[in-house]
Amino acid sequence: METIIDLRSDTVTRPTPEMREAMKNAIVGDDILRDDPTVIRLEELSAELFGKEAALLTISGTMSNEIAAMIYARPGDEIIVFSESHIYNLETGGISALSGAQPRPLQSDSGAYDAAELCRAIMPPGVQRARTRLICLENTFHLDRGLAVAKGRYAETIALARKHGIPLFMDGARIFNAAAALNTTVADLTGFCDSVDVCLCKGLAAPLGSLLIGSKDFIDEARRIRQRIGGGMRQAGVIAAPGLIALTRMAGRLAEDHENAEQLRSGLEGLGIRVDRGGVLTNIVNLDICPTGWKASLFADRLSGSGIKVKVCAEHTLRMVTHNDIQSRDVAFVLDKIGSMLRERPQA
């Protein structure tokens, strides 16, 4: 059956007709020679939006994250990460493989570090010690939960980083979702960071691309490292053109995705399903179907038979993500299907 509602991720969004038109008409040049005006415009606009000096277009969030790690750390150094973060779990061990640093994972429920734990994790000087070279943040936090983390939650982390002279890097793949949910700007949420990664191809619906943003020196070095790992691009204006639409038109509509996610959450609760309610939520719905007696894999299979795709996280938990290709009526349809499934005998 043809898939009609894909809630697995906001990465499944297809470029809008306006983006496709912009790709067709993009003025392009060889970007390795800095001849592509559309790429330059996108990089300048994103640096301006984030209140930083410069930006670099890369292929993916993963590439931006790993370039940052390679710039800040050398083999034998240490990078502090959240144990639930993308950079630690879903980048094929990139930190250790590419920068040679070892990640030191710390657990967090809120998306902020516990100050005492962070303090212990920062290595003291010593002949036997690795050097802590970077502290990574992620906002929204946790790709199966999508928590928007307010700037104030980072106060102790910022103080510790400053005290020890350790840079702060933010994986802001969904930072525009965080800004929409917290009713603030991306510059406000990331101003204290030395550098930031933001993705164009998630809620912002561009077909691909990410921006690494920071100081001019940092971006000059990032450009060299991107080249080293084969990420230099030629007529990349065809990627930058939809990216410009993502930043200028799509960021403003993310509140709609958050409303649809909330419609989904309350509807699911009405059906007796537990949903994650901790913190300021965005477009990711994390549900626990344990009370219904269903197993997540069977639940997902049955939904798939009705043209609804969801992601299984664990034995009883799933993720549903709203995005530009999901309307309120789709949410109503999904809730209706789940209601019908649950009225059947619960599955063991």
Ligand X SMILES: Cc1ncc(COP(=O)(O)O)c(C=O)c1O
Which residues contact ligand X (rule: CB under 6 A)? 11, 60-62, 65, 86, 138, 143, 171, 173, 199, 201, 210
Residue 172 phi, psi (nearest 5): -105, 45
CB-wise, 8 or 131, nearer to ligand X? Answer: 8
Instruction: Look at residues 158, 167, 257 and name the one whose alpha carbon lies nearest to residue 205.
Output: 257
| Residue number with the smallest Cβ distance to ligand X | 61
* Encoded tokens for 140: 């929204």
CB-wise, 143 or 338, nearer to ligand X? Answer: 143
Contact call for residues 294 and 346 (beta carbons, < 8 A)? yes
The CA-atom distances, in angstroms, between 310 and each of 144, 296, 299, 303, 304 are 12, 10, 9, 8, 8
Shortest distance, CB of residue 156 to ligand X, whole angstroms?
22
Shortest distance, CB of residue 94 to ligand X, whole angstroms?
10
CB-wise, 140 or 157, nearer to ligand X? Answer: 140
- Residue 327: CB atoms within 10 Å: 13
CB-wise, 210 or 324, nearer to ligand X? Answer: 210
Shortest distance, CB of residue 71 to ligand X, whole angstroms?
17
Shortest distance, CB of residue 59 to ligand X, whole angstroms?
8
The CA-atom distances, in angstroms, between 348 and each of 224, 270, 295, 297, 316 are 55, 21, 7, 11, 11
Contact call for residues 168 and 161 (beta carbons, < 8 A)? yes
CB-wise, 203 or 267, nearer to ligand X? Answer: 203
How far apart are the two ends of the chain, measured CA to CA in Å? 26
Beta bridge partners of 121: none
CB-wise, 201 or 254, nearer to ligand X? Answer: 201
CB-wise, 11 or 184, nearer to ligand X? Answer: 11
Contact call for residues 292 and 342 (beta carbons, < 8 A)? yes
Shortest distance, CB of residue 204 to ligand X, whole angstroms?
11
Shortest distance, CB of residue 16 to ligand X, whole angstroms?
18
Shortest distance, CB of residue 43 to ligand X, whole angstroms?
17
* Encoded tokens for 148: 């928007």
Which residue's entry shows tokens 């399903």? 273
